[in-house]
Amino acid sequence: MPIIEIKKETYLQVKQAALWMKENTKEGDKLFSISFPQTQYYSDRETLSYWPPHSGYNTSEEFAKWLDKEKPKFLTISLFENHPEWIVPIVENKTDKFLPVQAYFLDPEQKQLALVIYEVKY
C-alpha cells in the first residue's frame, strides 16, 4: 500500500473540526488551536496558537490575559499536538468559560477521543 494511501486520513479530525468551525463562525471570528496551520487553512478563519513558543506566553495567567484580549470563538484540544500542561486543567475547571460543543474520535465506536472543540464564553 503506498504511503500516501496510509497517511491520507492523518489529522482527519483536525480537518473535520476546522470545517465545522467554519460553518459555525462568521468572518472576523478567531480560533485558538495548536494545529493552527491546518485549522486556519480549512476554516478560513484567523487561527492563533496557544502553544507558548508561538504565542509568546508561558503560564496559565498569561494565557488568561491573552484569551481575554483576543476573544476567540472556539478553542480546540487534540491528541495530535503537544499542549501546554496547564490547558486541560483550565478548560476542565472553568466550565462556565469553556463549553464543549463538538468532539471527534479515532474509532467508529467513539471510545478513542481525538479532538474536542470548546466554545469560549465571555
Q: For residues 3 and 105, what is the distance between their CA atoms, to the nearest angstrom?
A: 23
Distance, C-alpha 26 to centroid of its chain: 17
- Coil, strand or helix at 112: coil
pTM of the model: 0.88
Please give the CATH number for the structural domain made up of 3-120: 3.40.190
Scanning the chain, the segments in alpha helix (DSSP H) are 3-7, 12-23, 36-43, 52-55, 60-70, 87-93
- List the domain boundaries for the chain: 3-120
Three-state DSSP state, 104: strand
Asked if residues 51 and 81 have their Cβ atoms less than 8 Å apart, the reply is yes
Residue 7: other Cβ atoms inside 10 A: 9
Q: What is the pLDDT along the chain (122 residues), one digit of tens a residue?
A: 566 665 556 689 999 999 999 999 999 999 999 999 999 999 999 999 877 666 667 778 888 888 999 999 999 999 998 888 889 999 999 999 999 999 999 999 999 999 999 999 99
